Each structure stands twice: as structure tokens, then as C-alpha cells.
């Protein structure tokens, strides 16, 4: 492969662009989820900008499992970056938002899942 081959360069740029779009979608989806759960833009910013220590294991496990199987299965290479957003679920649980609320708000029929969670779950 020649480094100055325009077809190769375009192909690589296409792969990079696709990867960046997935990363943006993952970040936007978590932001929508946090906004829906908190119902407050300022609280959402706090949740998205802090990294609390996990003590609410049951809440976190329920929220994380639901996120994985409803939205993005990070065992698929395409969605590995979803792991970087799990801290927001920790923060929601640590702030007292129940996993039940999160699960209810991200049910498969709601817009946050219909517009963003279009991955295959096999």
C-alpha cells in the first residue's frame, strides 16, 4: 500500500469520520438520558462533569445492564467507546436517581432510544 494513494487516503478518512460520528452519537445519547433523568440542565452538567466513587452497586448494575442491552452493546467494536460514558450512570445512582427511573425513561419506544440506539444487539 502506498501512502500517497488517494483511494486509500479517502478510505481511511471515511473510517475516521464514521468512528467520530459514533463517538458523537454516544456522547449525545448519554446527555439526552441524563437530561431526561435529572430534568434539569444544571444538574445534568454536574452529572456529566463529575466522577463519583461507586457505592450504589445495585442501582448501577441495573442501569448499566439496561443501557448495554437497550442502547449500545460495548462488546461490539463499533460501540466500545460507550464504556467511557458509564461514569454518568454511576453519578446518577450516587445522586439518588433510581435505576427504575432510568430504565423507564429509556424504554425502547421512547425517542432517546429510537433516535440513537439503532445498533444490533446480537
Q: Which domains does the chain have, with CATH numbers?
A: 26-116 (1.10.132.130)
| Mean predicted confidence (pLDDT) in 48-52 | 95
* pLDDT value of position 108: 55
pLDDT tens column, 58-95: 999 988 888 888 778 787 788 888 888 999 999 999 99
Confidence bin at 101 (pLDDT 50/70/90): confident
* pLDDT value of position 106: 60
- Sequence-distant (6+) residues with CB within 8 A of 80 are 74
Which of residues 122 and 16 earns the better pLDDT score? 16
Residue 52: alpha-carbon gap to chain centroid: 17
For the range 83-86, what are the long-range contacts, defined as Cβ-Cβ under 8 Å and sequence gap of 24 or more?
Answer: 84/26, 85/26, 85/27, 85/30
* pLDDT value of position 114: 43
pLDDT tens column, 9-41: 898 899 899 889 988 988 988 898 899 889 999
C-alpha cell at 107: 424504554
* pLDDT value of position 20: 92
The whole-model pTM stands at: 0.77
Amino acid at each position: 500500500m502506498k501512502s500517497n494513494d488517494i483511494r486509500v487516503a479517502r478510505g481511511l478518512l471515511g473510517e475516521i469520520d464514521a468512528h467520530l460520528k459514533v463517538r458523537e452519537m454516544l456522547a449525545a445519547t448519554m446527555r439526552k438520558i441524563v437530561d431526561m433523568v435529572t430534568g434539569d440542565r444544571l444538574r445534568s452538567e454536574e452529572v456529566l462533569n463529575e466522577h463519583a466513587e461507586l457505592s450504589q452497586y445495585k442501582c448501577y448494575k441495573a442501569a448499566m445492564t439496561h443501557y448495554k442491552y437497550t442502547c449500545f452493546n460495548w462488546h461490539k467494536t463499533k460501540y466500545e467507546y460507550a464504556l467511557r460514558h458509564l461514569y454518568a450512570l454511576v453519578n446518577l445512582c450516587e445522586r439518588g436517581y433510581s435505576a427504575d427511573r432510568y430504565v423507564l425513561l429509556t424504554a425502547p419506544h421512547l425517542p432517546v432510544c429510537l433516535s440513537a440506539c439503532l445498533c444490533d444487539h446480537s
